[in-house]
Structure 1
Amino acid sequence: MLKNFFLTCSGVDKNLINECSNGEQNKYVGIGATVFFTAIMATIAGSYALYTVFDTIYTAILFGLIWGLLIFNLDRFIVSTIKKTDSKWKEFAQATPRIILAIIIATVISKPLELKLFEKEINQVLLTEKNQMTLDNKSQIAQQFTPEVNKINSEIDLLKQEISNKETETNALYQTYISEAEGTTGTKKLGKGPVYKEKRAKHDASLLALNQLKKENLEKINKKENTIASLLENQKLAEIKSQPIISNFDGLMARINALGKLPFFTSFFIFLLFLAIETSPIIAKLLAPKGEYDFKLEEKLSAVKTWATQQMQQREQMLNADITIDNKVYKDITADEELYNYKQKMARELMKLQADSFYKKQQKML
C-alpha cells in the first residue's frame, strides 16, 4: 500500500510501472517518497511562517496544509513531465525551467524553518532593535513637548526673577531707613525724624508691593507648573500608547530582516540543504539511465502519436475527396438547363415583388 502511494506521488503511469521490474518500481518509489517528504517539510515551514503572521494555530495549520499540497502538486508535476531522451543536453534543457522553479520553492520552504532554527538569535536582534526604537520614540515624543516645557520654565524663571528683584529693592530700602534711624547715613542724625519717616514709608510701600507681587506671581507660577505637569503627563501617555506598537514589532518581515543581520553562511547552508532536497527528484531522474519504464512510456507515446498522425491524414484525405466531389457535382449542375430556367423564373418573380413593395411605400409617403 505504501509502495503504491509513493508511486502515485512520483506521477508515473500505474499501468506501465506495474508491468516493469521490481528494481524499476523501487526507483520511482524513491522519487515519490522524496516528493512526499518535501511536501511535509513545506507544510511545517508554511504553518510556522503563517503562525508568525496570524498568531492563530488553527489558521496557520489550515494554510500550511494548503501550501504543502501546492508544493506537492508542483513537485509531482515537475518530476512527471521530465521525459528521458537519448541526449543528456536535451534532458538538461528540458529540466532547466523546472530546476529554476525548484530553487524558488526551496527558498520559500527554507526561510520559515530558518526563522524557527535561529529563533533565539532573532529574538536577541529584535530586542536590541526594540530597545533602540523605544529610546528613539521617547526622543521623538520629547521633541514635541520639550520646547513648550522650556518656554514655560523660562516664564517661571522670569516671574521668580521679578520677585527676587523686588525683594532686593525692598531690602535696600529697609537698610536705608534703618541707617537713617541709626544716624550712619543720610542726615546722620540719630533718631526717627521726618527723613526717617519718609524713607520708612517708601520701604513699607515697597514691602506691600512685594507681597502683592509674590501673591500674583506665585499664582502664575503654580498655574504654569500645573501646565508643565500636564504636558509631562501627556508625554508619558504618548510613550505608553506607542509602546505596544514597538512591543509587537516581531512579525514575519521583522524576523526576516533580523535573520539577514545574522551570519550569512549558516543560513546559506540550510538553504542549500533544502535546495538539495527539492531538486533531488529532478537530479535523480536526470542522472538515472533510461530504464524499462521510459522505454515503455516512449513506445506508448509513439503509438499514440502514430495513431493521431494517421487519423489526421485520413481526415485530410476525406476532406480533399469531399472537395473534389462537390466541385464536380456543382459543375454538372451549372450546365443543367432546367435548373437555369427555374432560377430565372424565381428571380423574375422576386424582382416584381420588390418593385410592387417600393411603389406602395412611395405612395404612402406622398
Structure 2
Amino acid sequence: MNNAKDFFLFCSGVDRTILDQVPSDENKYLGIGGTIFFTGVLAFISAGYALYTVFDSYVMAVLFGVVWGLMIFNLDRYIVSSMKSKGGFFGNFMVALPRIAMAVLLALVISKPLELKIFEKEINAELIVMEQETFKAQEDRIQARFNDRIAAQEAEIAQLRGELAAKTLARDEAAAAALAEADGSGGSGIRNMGPIYRAKQATAAQAQAELVATQAELQPRIDALLAEAAALRSEVSSEITGLQRSAYGGMAARIDALDRLGSRSNAIYLASIFIMLLFIAIETAPIFTKLISPRSPYDHLLNEHEHVYEMAAKESITVRANEVKNRLRTHTEVGIHQTTADIAAKKAEIDHTLRQHRESLGARGYGLG
C-alpha cells in the first residue's frame, strides 16, 4: 500500500519533504497523481493502437506506445507540478491558461485513436464501401484514357456498316422489283420477262455488283477497326487486373471513414464528440483541481520555501552587485588619482626643464655683456 501511495505521490510531482509536514493534503495529491498515471496509460493504449493500424506489428505498437505513454505522463506531471497557487482565481487562471491549452491538445491527440477503436466495427464496414469506391475510381480513370479512342473506332465502324447496309438495302429493293415484275405482282402488273424485267434485273445486278465492291472495300477496314477496339478493351482489362488491390485501412482512411459515418449519423457524431470531451475532462482534471482548490497548507509551505530561496538569491545578487560597484568605484577613483598625480609630476618636470632653460639663457647673456 505504501509503495502504491509513494508512486502516485511521485506521479503528482509533489515535494515529499514539504508534504510530510502537512499530511492533510496527501489525499488531494494522491488523486492528482492517479489521474496523471491513468492518463499516461490511456496514452499508451491510444498510441499502441494507432501504430498497430500503421505497421501491423505488436512489437512496434508496444514499443512506441510505451514511449508515447511515458512522454505524455512526464508532460502531464510537469504541467501539474509547475502550477503554483499564488492566490486569486483569475490570476491563477491566467497562469494556468497555457497549460490548459496544452492539456486540451494532448486530450485530442489521445482520444482520436481510441475513438477509432470504439467504432471499429462500423469503420470496417465503411472501409469496404470506401475501398470499392476507390477501386471504381481507379478503373474509371483507366477506362477514361481509352474511351475516346474506342468511341471513335466504334463510330467509324457504325458509319461503314451503315454504308454496307444502305448498299444491301438498295440491292434487295432492286432484286425485289425485278422479281415483282417477273411474276406480275408489281411494276407493270403483267407477268412476263420482257424488256422491263430485264431492265430491272440489270439494275439489281448492278446493285449486287456495287454491294460486292463495297464489301470488298469496307469489310477489311471494319475487321481492322474491330480488332483494334478489341485490343484496346483487352488492354483496359489487363490494366484493371494489374491494379494493386492492397489492404485499405490505414490511419488516415479510418479517420476519413469515421468522419463519413459522423456526417450521416447524428448518434455516431454525438458519441464521438462526447468521447473527445471525456478525454479533455480527464486530461484537464488535475489542472482544474489545483485551480479551483483553495490554498492549502502545502501551498503556503511551498510558497514560504520558495520565498526563502528567492530572498536569499536576491540578497546574494544584491551583495555581489554592491561588491562589483565598490570595486568599480575603487578602480575609478584610484585611476583618477593616479592620472592626477601623473599630470602633476609631468607639469613639475616641464617647469623644471623650462627653469633650467631660462637660467642657461641668462648665463649666456651675462657672459656676452
Same fold (TM over 0.5): yes
Segment of structure 1 superposing worse, 283-292 or 99-108:
283-292
SS in 1 for 2:322: helix
**In structure 1, which of residues 15, 18, 37 is the aligned counterpart of residue 17 of structure 2?**
15
User: How big is the shift at 1:85?
Assistant: 2.6
Deviations 1:229-282 (A, max 9, x none): 222233334444557379567635424533542423211211121112111111
SS in 2 for 1:332: helix
CA distance in 2, matches of 1:29, 1:164: 94
Q: Which residue of 2 aligns with 1:358?
A: none
CA distance in 1, matches of 2:177, 2:45: 93
Contact 1:122 1:255 in 2 (8 A): yes
**In structure 2, which of residues 264, 271, 276 is the aligned counterpart of residue 271 of structure 1?**
276
Q: Which residue of 1 aligns with 2:358?
A: none
Does residue 255 of structure 2 align to residue 283 of structure 1? no
Does residue 11 of structure 2 align to residue 6 of structure 1? no
Q: What amino acid is aligned across from residue 119 of structure 1 in structure 2? A: E
Segment of structure 1 superposing worse, 8-17 or 54-63:
54-63
Identity %: 34
Q: Where do residues 117-196 of structure 1 align in structure 2 (5 Å cutoff)? A: 117-135=118-136, 138-139=139-140, 141-175=142-176
Contact 1:134 1:243 in 2 (8 A): no
Does residue 330 of structure 2 align to residue 325 of structure 1? yes
CA change 1:246–1:197 in 2 (3 A) is farther
Q: Which residue of 2 aligns with 1:295?
A: 300
SS in 1 for 2:245: helix
Q: Which runs of no fewer than 5 residues in structure 1 stay unpaired?
A: 346-366
Contact 1:126 1:258 in 2 (8 A): no
CA distance in 2, matches of 1:149, 1:335: 108
Q: Which residue of 1 aligns with 2:256?
A: 254
Does residue 303 of structure 2 align to residue 309 of structure 1? no
Q: Where do residues 40-51 of structure 1 align in structure 2 (5 Å cutoff)? A: 40-51=41-52
Q: Which residue of 2 aligns with 1:76?
A: 77
CA change 1:196–1:126 in 2 (3 A) is same
CA distance in 1, matches of 2:301, 2:233: 84
Contact 1:9 1:33 in 2 (8 A): yes
Q: Which residue of 1 aligns with 2:114?
A: 113
Q: Which residue of 2 aligns with 1:66?
A: 67
CA distance in 1, matches of 2:262, 2:21: 49
Q: Which residue of 2 aligns with 1:85?
A: 86
**In structure 1, which of residues 331, 334, 337 is the aligned counterpart of residue 339 of structure 2?**
334
Contact 1:39 1:68 in 2 (8 A): yes
Deviations 1:165-188 (A, max 9, x none): 3333434554566677779978x7
User: How big is the shift at 1:143?
Assistant: 4.3
CA change 1:156–1:330 in 2 (3 A) is closer
CA distance in 1, matches of 2:173, 2:261: 73
User: How big is the shift at 1:289?
Assistant: 3.5
Deviations 1:283-310 (A, max 9, x none): 2222334333323322221111121121
SS in 1 for 2:295: coil
CA distance in 2, matches of 1:26, 1:76: 17
The root-mean-square deviation of aligned C-alpha atoms, in Å, is 3.6
Contact 2:83 2:96 in 1 (8 A): yes
CA change 1:207–1:13 in 2 (3 A) is same
CA change 1:259–1:162 in 2 (3 A) is closer
User: How big is the shift at 1:152?
Assistant: 2.2
Q: Which residue of 2 aligns with 1:228?
A: 229
Deviations 1:48-71 (A, max 9, x none): 223334444433333333322221
CA distance in 1, matches of 2:176, 2:286: 106
Contact 1:53 1:251 in 2 (8 A): no
Q: What amino acid is aligned across from residue 152 of structure 2 in structure 1? A: K
User: How big is the shift at 1:200?
Assistant: 6.0
TM-score, length basis structure 2? 0.76
Q: Which residue of 1 aligns with 2:356?
A: none
User: How big is the shift at 1:117?
Assistant: 0.6
CA change 1:98–1:79 in 2 (3 A) is same
Contact 1:122 1:258 in 2 (8 A): no
Q: Report the number of matched residues.
A: 342
Contact 2:108 2:280 in 1 (8 A): yes
Segment of structure 1 superposing worse, 141-150 or 64-73:
141-150
Q: Which runs of no fewer than 5 residues in structure 2 stay unpaired?
A: 351-369
Segment of structure 1 superposing worse, 109-118 or 177-186:
177-186
CA distance in 1, matches of 2:94, 2:180: 114
